[in-house]
Amino acid sequence: MRTHQIAGLTCVLAFLISLPATILADTTGLPDNSIYHLDSEWRDQEGQALTLSELAGRPRLLSFVYTYCEHTCPMIVARLEMVTDTIPEPVRNQLQVTLVSLDPERDTPERLKTWLQEKGLDGRDWLMLHGDPDEVLGFAAMLGVRYRPMGERDIAHSNMITLLDAQGVVRYQSKGLGDDPAEINDAIESLEVPTD
């Protein structure tokens, strides 16, 4: 797990250093290696505008998907459901799953909301993010997620699940769907999560 953390932190810091100062948000109090320093505009599945820094305050499992995917995205979602269903309830109540769309052209906020409903996930504490292509590319690069169009409708992409702590620091990254799900659970349970 240390290797994943160091690689993730190196990517985050290199990306942040390359950004012009004008796009960095006011993130006073966050650690230097927080992904929430990237000031980018997003819309959630309700169409509400938000910035990444507004996600601070609770841990989250984050992955990049697109709603028209028929291959690995359903497996990513199933893995996220399995993980959230198997962690202790007090921890689960503090954790939020966040999915970032890799297909901003087709995955409008309305489509994201409909997709969550179709998958039966609208009753869960899941957040979907829609951004413009440059925002998606920057955020994906920051976390080491690679993707590229394949044909007219498909997108080849990393099948990574990232665990962020409440301050937006990468605490774990699975490198694919073949990783042991117990590793994600262990990483989640090792977080200091307030359990009201």
Tell me the per-residue pLDDT of 100-156, one tens digit each, with 9 for 90 and over.
Answer: 999 999 999 999 999 999 999 987 889 999 999 999 999 999 999 999 999 888 999
pLDDT band at 78 (very low <50, low <70, confident <90, very high): very high
CA distance 112 to 45: 5
- Rounded to a whole number, what is the distance in angstroms from the first to the last CA of the chain? 28
Higher pLDDT, 181 or 84: 84
Q: Where are the beta strands (DSSP E) in the chain?
A: 41-44, 49-51, 60-65, 96-101, 126-130, 147-150, 154-157, 161-164, 170-174
Both tokens of 133, joined, read 């292509």
Which residues are 162's β-sheet partners?
Answer: 62, 173
- Give the pLDDT confidence score for residue 193 in this predicted structure: 66
- Give the pLDDT confidence score for residue 24 in this predicted structure: 44
Who's near 173: CB < 8 A, 6+ residues apart? 4, 8, 143, 144, 160, 161, 162, 163
Mean pLDDT for the chain overall: 86
Tell me the per-residue pLDDT of 141-189, one tens digit each, with 9 for 90 and over.
Answer: 999 999 999 988 899 999 999 999 999 999 999 988 888 888 999 999 8
CA distance 169 to 161: 14
Q: Which helix (H) or strand (E) holds 76?
A: helix 73-86
CATH says 2-23+31-189 is which class? Answer: alpha beta
| Other C-beta atoms lying within 10 Å of the C-beta of residue 185 | 18
In order of 95, 146, 179, the CA distances from 92 in angstroms are 5, 28, 21
